[in-house]
Amino acid sequence: MGLVGGFGVVLTGATGMVGQAFLRQRGAHPVHALVRSPDGRDWGEGVHVVRGDLHGIPDALFPPYPYVVLHLAMKQRDTDGTGFERTNVDGTRRLLTRLQGDCRGVLLGSSMSVYGPGPHRGVKEEHPLRPITALARSRVAAEDVVMEHAVRNGLHAALLRPRFLLGRGDRFVLPAMVKLLKRGVQVGDDGVGCSVIDVDDLGRILWRLASRMVETPRPEQQALNVAYAQPLLREEFLGTVAQRLGLDRPTVKVQAPAWFPRVLREVPSWRARAMAERLELLTQSQCLDVSRLAEVLGPEDLLSRSPVDALRSALNDFPS
């Protein structure tokens, strides 16, 4: 077919943290990226930029050779007050109905938030979905749209559910922890665990899953938790950050009973709901069981990497 590697990828959300990591790992595979504002950025060789969005998809987005869709263009924050349905649910549906040519499967960037607030210790993909935020509910709905389309059309589908991302482009996880440390505050006890993965390792995993979709004739349709096999404990997290940045360990430890965030959610204020979500993320373990993904990736998988090692690597690029 004249195509190195045998397939390409149609990518949405190319300008985000995961999309950029995916492009850094692309090798010789061509990528067709749907981008609202492509100007002023060096996309590199092999990236075919197509201007548009989920509600205006040009035919040029779809290549004339086998491809996999990586759908990452999900609205994460409702800064304009219009909600999440239009982008995350309707946009996903519009993308799928526009697919042309030889599409082999769809990778959807979802989140562990579909399981609900927790605490979660080794939660598996079969766990009941109990989304309580508007964003998480829209993610569940998007997962349903993708799975229904894949089953109906005989395509591969992978619903990817990470928790916390470290590394290049992180504007939330590490900055938040450093901010608390500089204030001398620890939220949650030392034994609270969280599932993490470096975004470039996630990019590598996405490419391997895309290759599997092209190489495997029988469609596989499944959710996949995505993280290192071992969680990162709060004590490890704060100790590693404090040592690398020359900060003191926290002098104030803040605990929150499990009922407190639930009460906060009932307060008719977006600030109270946001505080409840932050407290749940910081005080309750958020740990994934990734045995299904490990089985899919095989024995030489990336999931055995130490989360502390990944954190140290992320700190190398963190402005102190």
Length of the chain: 320
| Model pLDDT, residue 41 | 81
Contact 157, 103 (CB under 8 A): no
Q: Which pLDDT score is estimated for 261? A: 65
Q: What pLDDT sits at residue 2? A: 41
Are 238 and 282 in contact by the 8 Å Cβ rule? The answer is no
Q: Which pLDDT does position 287 carry in this prediction?
A: 97
Q: Which residues contact 57 (CB under 8 A, 6 or more apart)?
A: 34, 94, 95, 98
pLDDT the model gives residue 56: 95
Assess whether pLDDT exceeds 60 at residue 236.
yes
Among the ranges given (136-145, 192-201, 216-225, 247-256), the one the predictor scored with the smallest mean pLDDT: 247-256
In the chain, % of residues over pLDDT 70? 92
Reported as a single tens digit per residue, the pLDDT across 83-103 is 999 999 999 999 999 999 999
The answer to whether residue 204 scores a pLDDT higher than 80 is yes
pLDDT at position 186:
83
pTM score, whole prediction: 0.93
Domain ranges of the chain: 8-234+271-316
* pLDDT(76) > 80: yes
**Which pLDDT does position 279 carry in this prediction?**
66
- Residue 73 scores a pLDDT above 90: yes
Q: What is the mean pLDDT of residues 114-142?
A: 94
Stretch 133-143: mean pLDDT, rounded? 96
Report the pLDDT value the prediction gives residue 46, as an integer from 0 to 100.
92
Backbone phi, psi, residue 161, to 5°: -125, 85
Average of pLDDT values for 312-317? 93
pLDDT digit string, tens, across residues 17-70: 999 999 999 988 999 999 998 777 888 889 999 999 999 999 999 999 999 999
Q: What is the mean pLDDT of the chain?
A: 91
Omega before 119 within 30 of 0, i.e. cis? yes
Look at 183 and 165; give whichever has higher pLDDT: 165
Residue 249's pLDDT band, with cuts at 50, 70 and 90, is: confident
SS (H, E, C) the chain: CCCCCCCEEEEECCCCHHHHHHHHCCCCCCEEEEECCCCCCCCCCCEEEEECECCECCHHHCCCCCEEEEECCCCCCCCCCCCCHHHHHHHHHHHHHCCCCCEEEEEEECCHHHHCCCCEEEECCCCCCCCCCHHHHHHHHHHHHHHHHHHHHCCEEEEEEECEEECCCCCCHHHHHHHHHHCCEEECCCCCEECEEEHHHHHHHHHHHHHHHHHCCCCCEEEEEECCCCCEEHHHHHHHHHHHHCCCCCCEEECCCCHHHHHHHCCCCHHHHHHHHHHHHHHCCEEECCHHHHHHHCCCCCCCCCHHHHHHHHHHCCCC
Which amino acid, residue 180?
A: L
pLDDT value of position 1? 38
pLDDT of residue 271: 73
Question: Residue 260 — pLDDT band, cuts 50, 70, 90?
Answer: low
Which has the higher per-residue pLDDT, 27 or 231? 231
Residue 278 near residue 272, CB atoms below 8 Å: no
* CATH number of the domain located at residue range(s) 8-234+271-316 in this protein: 3.40.50.720
Amino acid 266: pLDDT = 73
Residue % of the chain over a pLDDT of 90: 72
